[in-house]
Amino acid sequence: MASISLTAKTITALGIDPGSNATGWGVVRECSGRLELVACGVLRVKGNTFPERLACIYHGLHHIIDEYRPDEVGVEQVFSSKNVMSTIKLAQARGAAIAACASFDLPVLDYEPSLVKKTLVGTGRAEKEQVAYMVARLLGQAHIDGPLDTTDALGIAVCHLTLRRFRRLEELQKAEL
């Protein structure tokens, strides 16, 4: 898998909020610290069998990656719930999403939902609506149309780009020493 380049001036990130029924995605470009919304949406997962649903996620994201050509990808980690079968299905949906990214040799970083919320809102227990509000503001939008899966995915992309800037600053500080 490709590695992350901390020296690029412009970077395009794809954020993915995997789900077995709906997979949110968002593409955000950063140029000199300025964020720009490129595209976003949600894949409504279809199929009669679960393998068909996983194929839908894979092919849908494959098409999105091919169209928008992101440099890096952020994917939400699996949030384990009390329902073990739901957790397993979510993990498999996440695997299909990562496989689509790997087919393009893209670097993929994982983000815990609480880290995304804390990075964007300041608290790891923020509500989805709070994340949606902050994502819209950070991207210079009054509102972002679509379900919360979309704004969650954009939040992952924004979180990825924000933490990437911090990693770059750390590298620059190390180089000065």
Q: Which residues are catalytic?
A: 17, 76, 149
Helix residue spans in 48-147 (DSSP H): 50-68, 84-102, 113-121, 128-138
CA dist 73 and 12 (Å) reads 9
- Contact (Cβ atoms closer than 8 angstroms) between residue 138 and residue 151: no
- Contact (Cβ atoms closer than 8 angstroms) between residue 10 and residue 30: yes
As a residue count, the chain comes to 177
- Output b/e per residue, 141-176; b: 16+ Cβ within 10 A: eeebebebbbbbbbbbbbbbbbbbeeebeeeeeeee
CA dist 50 and 47 (Å) reads 7
CB-based contacts of 169, cutoff 8 Å, min separation 6: none
